[in-house]
Amino acid sequence: MDYLWTPWRYAYITEAKGDPRCVFCDKENEKDDRTSWMVYRGKHCYVCLNAFPYTSGHVMIIPYKHLDELQKLPEAAAQEMFGLCQRTEKVLRNLYHPDGINLGMNLGAAAGAGVAGHIHMHVLPRWVADANFMTVVAETRILPETLETTWMRMREEFGKDMDVGRPKRRKNSQRKTKAAKRR
């Protein structure tokens, strides 16, 4: 058996189980978006990089409200979450040109949720045959870019897309002209 040493994960492994705080609630309150890997902040939800990604571009959409069941999520937050899923798909397709997109949510520890007490949606790009021998045999992920690079690229792409889905407001002079023509 081969060993890949990952000492940077030790703090996460040892502190996660004994810490009653929620990593997602703590992340929301951090002031520096870069150190918290925050890509976008919405009204009810935020988008951040997964610190231990399956592939580059692996993000999570997380409601600010600490809830353990999807059915408890207020309708406005659920709508924003799904809207952010659509927006994230567009961002990932523009940046990574994947063959497909995985979108998923594990509700509860038995379902595989790493953070069972706070619901969150995973969104990540996928390619045909992206589970290569390193992942399958060696249980090791190979990522083509650093989290820093992924964060910068995704944040920039989200910034370009700020008004997606919203009708553009016409300038006041255009409104007056249209109103005058109707008279």
Q: Dump pLDDT digits (tens) for 88-120.
A: 999 999 999 999 999 999 888 888 888 888 999
- pLDDT average, residue stretch 30-49: 91
Residue in the block written with tokens 């870069």: 34
Q: Considering its fold, how many domains does the chain have in total? A: 1
> Is 2 domain-assigned?
no
> Is 62 domain-assigned?
yes
Q: Retrieve residue 24's tokens.
A: 């997602």
> Is 153 domain-assigned?
yes
Residues labelled as active-site residues: 120
pLDDT score, position 133: 47
Q: What's the pTM value of the predicted model, to 2 decimals?
A: 0.72
> Is 88 domain-assigned?
yes
* Type of residue found at 132: N
Report the CATH number that the domain containing residue 88 is assigned in CATH: 3.30.428.10
pLDDT digits (tens, 9 = 90+) for 132-173: 544 544 455 666 688 888 899 999 999 885 543 333 334 444
> Is 168 domain-assigned?
yes
Rounded CA Rg of the chain: 20
> Is 31 domain-assigned?
yes
Q: Retrieve residue 126's tokens.
A: 């996928």
Q: What is the domain range of residue 158?
A: 7-182
pLDDT band at 8 (very low <50, low <70, confident <90, very high): low
* Type of residue found at 73: L
> Is 1 domain-assigned?
no
> Is 173 domain-assigned?
yes
pLDDT band at 3 (very low <50, low <70, confident <90, very high): low
